[in-house]
Structure 1
Amino acid sequence: MELQTGREAVVRVPVATLWSAPEAVRPVDRPALSDAPDIVTWIAGMDREQRVGDCVLTQLLLGERVLVTDLRTDGWAHVVAVEQPAATLDPRGYPGWLPAAQLTAPPEAGSPIAPLVVDVTLTPLRTAPDGPVALPGVVLSTRLTPAGQPVDGWRPVRVPGRADPLWAPEGDLVPLPTERPDAKEVLAMAERLHDLVYIWGGNSSHGIDCSGLVRTAWRRYGVTLPRDAAEQAEVGSEVALGDEIPGDLYFFARPGRPIHHVGIVSAEPQGDVRRMLHADYVKRRVVEERLPPDREATLVGARRV
């Protein structure tokens, strides 16, 4: 079944990047645009400034659903990422462009919802137990559907666009939780991405931004949050500063401006000392630190998801 405008599709590659426009991509972005994008090479090839280029909007993981809204003859598709809420942009989800070859037709109606989730930073999917790698770099929080019982420590899973199952190490996958996690569990998950490189729009364990870090950590536990920090600030309940606990969220904005940054509270405040784990645009890394003066000056509140 071919892609069709007005119909849903799913991502068939480990990480697909959503772009502001086909014309906005740069020569350095070439590795991310192929039928089998090489995200590792793409990130390694960018310098400090290129990693924060605003041509990148967000990223989608293997199996994520999109609504196809336009198909161009040059191979680009405009889509709405329906699993990434972005109400201020489109009530249906996050809109943007990606190569159509990174998508495939969705599973047949009535197919089971993926009940497994990747619980390691990266895992390869193989053609057979301990066989050749078919899909390298499947990332943390990717959801997969089992295709049978484990065999000798390997788990068969269904992969969009492939007739035959692929195989993952059984220990790299866990059942998708059905109960809401404790906030400290989510913090511990996010801490596993400590020192990961900052990528504007990054939403994977190859590279990530501030709201992507928050969203990825909660997605591991089956909770869907909005993609951007300003909309994440509308989720959950407000927490008075001084009452925050590890796993709550800090939000930051300059006077008269919308929220531009989010971090995860990493310790209970001690007097005026507050700490958080966040993907830091300045340091270009995921760091855990005491809030520096510029962050204290722009801290506008805390929330509990």
Structure 2
Amino acid sequence: MVLRSGQEAVVRVAVATLWARPEAVRPIDAPALSRRTDIASWISGMTADQRVGECVLSQLLLGERVLVEEVRPDGWVRLVAVEQPAAKLDPRGYPGWLPLDQLAAPAEPLPGPPDLVVAATVTRLHAAPAGPVVLPGVILGTRLTSAGPVSGGWRPVRVPDQEQPLWAPDTHLAPAPRRPPSATEVLTVASRLRNVVYVWGGVSAYGIDCSGLVHLAWRRFGVRLPRDADDQAAATVPVPLGAERPGDLYFFARPGRPVHHIGIVTARPGPQGDRRMLHACYTKRRVLEEPMPADRTATLVGAHRVTP
């Protein structure tokens, strides 16, 4: 495949990791760099400290569009992830680096936009109904295009860089949303990721960070929120503290500093102002739902609501 600066491409692997720079990659990162990524093995092979290295910026899902900026002879591509808004970094999307092998040129124009979304936390795509696995680890929120009717509980779908349709269990898919979701629907999806380990820059059911959790939960319903917490604050509507309701967002910042953490409201505030939230917690290194700890209460700067 030949890609050039200014060309659009799509992700051809189940989950592609966006890197700060090629030189930041470590030997432990090999499973995330291949033509058939193994994100589960990559994350399980790292220590808790290795999972929070700032070499990782974000992750992209199968079929996600990118704009190519530079192709290096060593097989690395500098690009912009146009489906992950990042206003402070680039108005076009999130910038970073991917291995060339994880990208494909866009296919011929399809009859319409993707009409399906992965509703399961994780699924696998097969060469035939119940046949060999071609793409494991396809993540919640991945958009797919139907390639025909359901057959025996399996649905054919079009996948980048695959000449023939692949097959997914039909129960793992849902129609692409045609209306904005309720906050309760989004919270229900996010809650399914409880106990997923914390990974800096993660946007998958194998490892995720605080803003990635929010981005992915809303993405499941076709709502494109920015990737980072401070951008998410700028893209949502403040509500008075005390008026927040489940599905709203809490934002946290230290005095004079930008927003550094985000959580999802899981209950209305109690009579003493006590609060609960679901969040990917850096200190406890996992996604959990809990009463808001004192250190978080001390840095709480507001509650916001997503208004698609």
Report TM bin, short chain. over 0.9
* 1:30 to partner: Cα distance: 1.1
Please say if 1:54 is aligned against 2:54: yes
Residue 125 (structure 1) aligns with:
125
Do the aligned partners of 1:2 and 1:104 also contact (CA within 8 Å) in 2?
no
* 1:235 to partner: Cα distance: 1.9
Please say if 1:94 is aligned against 2:100: no
1:237 & 1:23 partners in 2: Cα distance? Answer: 39
Letter in 2 for 1:278: H
Cα deviation 1:49-81 (Å, max 9, x = unaligned):
000000000000000000000000000000100
Letter in 2 for 1:116: L
Residue 82 (structure 2) aligns with:
82
Matches within 5 A, 1:14-163: 14-109=14-109, 111-163=111-163
Residue 183 (structure 1) aligns with:
183
1:111 & 1:197 partners in 2: Cα distance? Answer: 39
Regions of 4+ moved over 6 Å: none
* 1:107 to partner: Cα distance: 2.1
Runs of 5+ in structure 1 lacking a partner? none
Aligned pair count reads 305
Moved more, 31-40 or 95-104: 31-40
Residue 296 (structure 2) aligns with:
295
Identity of aligned residues (%): 65
Cα deviation 1:222-273 (Å, max 9, x = unaligned):
1000000000001231110000000000000001110000000000000221
Residue 193 (structure 1) aligns with:
193
1:126 & 1:36 partners in 2: Cα distance? Answer: 14
Residue 286 (structure 2) aligns with:
285
Cα deviation 1:169-219 (Å, max 9, x = unaligned):
001000011101110110011000011011000011111000000010000
2:148 & 2:5 partners in 1: Cα distance? Answer: 33
For the structure 1 residues 111 and 104, does the alpha-carbon distance in structure 2 shift closer, same or farther, using more than 3 Å as the test? farther
Do the aligned partners of 2:77 and 2:99 also contact (CA within 8 Å) in 1?
yes
Q: Give the alignment's TM-score, normalised by structure 2.
A: 0.98
For the structure 1 residues 110 and 116, does the alpha-carbon distance in structure 2 shift closer, same or farther, using more than 3 Å as the test? closer
Q: Give the alignment's TM-score, normalised by structure 1.
A: 0.99
Letter in 2 for 1:70: E
Cα deviation 1:146-188 (Å, max 9, x = unaligned):
0001100000000000110000000100001110111011001
Runs of 5+ in structure 2 lacking a partner? none
